[in-house]
Structure 1
Amino acid sequence: MATVAITGAGRGIGFELVKQHLAAGDHVISLVRNPAGATALAALADDSGGRIAVHQLDVTDLASATRAAAASGDVPIDILYNVAGAADGRSDLANIDWQQFDEVVDIGLKGPLRVLQAFLPRLREGSKVINITSQIGASTWPTGGYYAYGATKAALNRLMRSIAVDLKPRGIIIGLVHPGWVQTDMGGPKADLTPEQSAHGICTVARGWTLDRSGDFYKWNGEPHAW
């Protein structure tokens, strides 16, 4: 039985990760920006026998992340999932929405760093920090558009690889996972995978991640992803 913390737990992949870990018998710290709006998560928590706790956390606010880390107890975290993110769509080079650009970076790049910083005191040897990234952030991915989202995920990959080096002596494992093209609000209804399929794969990959592969980039199905 593990203790797991998940950002973006109110919907999409984050919510499915909650369900996957609940089914596995784990205790889940569900972190959401607006708990009042996460009605499905609240219902699941009510029926979980105390194995799901819901806490407010805004990844754009370090104080919020710090409060959530404190409010959720002092039990060591076995897996911390950074799931919360935002996207900018196809992008128009002539008409960049700079406010949206900054929001995507703040949520998708700075957000995981804030969360990791807040929960770092609860990580121990063998703890894992699994970051949901994207193939769009890989330099090998041949597509245009998505300027803010792609740049954010590329930067997240580099950031977490640096952190993997720094935390390796403490035995803390850092992972980067492309979740696939998933039928979420971001991926749309025509995507290849259901959130359940993606989350199941991510859980399997996360549980098997070892320290010698800390900082590596994988697909949801366990295949290595080219950088």
Structure 2
Amino acid sequence: MANVIVSGASRGIGLELVKAHLALGDQVHAMVRDPSSSGLAALGAGSSGQLHIHAVDVASDASVAAAAAQTGNDPVDILYNVAGIMGKVEPALEPGDWDQFDDAIEIMLKGPLRVLRAFLPRLTAGSKVINFSSQLAASPWPYGGFYGYVAAKSGLNRLMRSVAIDLKDRGIIIGIIHPGYVQTDMGGPDADITPEESAAAIVKLTQGWTIEKSGDFYKWNGEEHPW
């Protein structure tokens, strides 16, 4: 039985990861901004103690630290950094409000590092930290726009590659993943795959992720993603 942490677990891929690991018999800690606004409560009630739900704002050091403290002292086998926002999709070349850009950096670049730091004392050899990036973070992406999102996800890729280098001697595995073009609130109903399909493939990919591939960027289907 694995001990699994999922940030951004209230809906979409995060929620499906929770369901997939519960089905495997794992102990799951779901970290969400507002536990009452999600379908997690009913899921937790029927989980026979497997699922624990924690309120957390990944943009806040204090909130992340408090939520991590609530998850006990057991070693963490898998940590999924899923939480994210899209923000503005159009090019932002005119002077304007930086709030959405700053939110993207706080939640999707600094947020995963906050969460990793909070759980680092409980990560051991073989522990896996899987960070959700995007194809928009790769140089071959042929479109513009999405400035805050692209900046955060591109930074996340390089940041987590650096973390992977620094933690390799401890046997801690860092993964970076593009979850696919998924039918979520962010991807929309016409996206290529369902959250269930994405989550099932990611669980399989995570289970096979080795220290030799720590810091690498992969697609949900197991293909290496070009940078």
Q: Same fold (TM over 0.5)?
A: yes
Would the aligned equivalents of 2:104 and 2:152 in 1 still touch at CA under 8 Å? yes
| Superposed counterparts of 1:173-192, under 5 Å | 173-192=173-192
Q: Identify if the C-alpha distance between structure 1 residues 193 and 108 changes in structure 2 by more than 3 Å, giving closer, same or farther.
A: same
**Deviation (angstroms), 1:187:** 0.6
Name the counterpart of 1:76. 75
Q: How many residues align?
A: 226
Name the counterpart of 1:53. 52
SS, match of residue 198 in structure 1 = helix
SS, match of residue 200 in structure 2 = helix
Name the counterpart of 1:8. 8
SS, match of residue 124 in structure 1 = strand
2: distance between equivalents of 1:36 and 1:63? 21
| CA RMSD, Structure 1 to Structure 2 (Å) | 0.9
Residue identity in the other structure for 1:10: S
Name the counterpart of 2:125. 125
**Deviation (angstroms), 1:94:** 2.5
Would the aligned equivalents of 2:88 and 2:100 in 1 still touch at CA under 8 Å? no
Deviates more, 1:92-101 or 1:105-114: 92-101
Name the counterpart of 2:106. 106
SS, match of residue 68 in structure 1 = helix
Residue 65 in structure 1 maps to residue 48 in structure 2:
no
Q: Percent identity?
A: 60
Residue identity in the other structure for 1:55: H
**Deviation (angstroms), 1:4:** 0.3
- For structure 1, the 5+ residue unaligned runs are none
1: distance between equivalents of 2:74 and 2:96? 44
Residue identity in the other structure for 1:178: H
2: distance between equivalents of 1:80 and 1:99? 28
Residue identity in the other structure for 2:17: L
**Deviation (angstroms), 1:44:** 0.4
**Deviation (angstroms), 1:100:** 0.6
Residue identity in the other structure for 1:68: A
2: distance between equivalents of 1:168 and 1:113? 16
**Deviation (angstroms), 1:141:** 1.3
Task: Write out per-residue CA displacement over residues 157-207 of structure 1, whole angstroms, 9 at most, x where no aligned residue.
Answer: 000000000000000000000000011111111111100001011111111
**Deviation (angstroms), 1:97:** 3.7
Name the counterpart of 2:87. 88
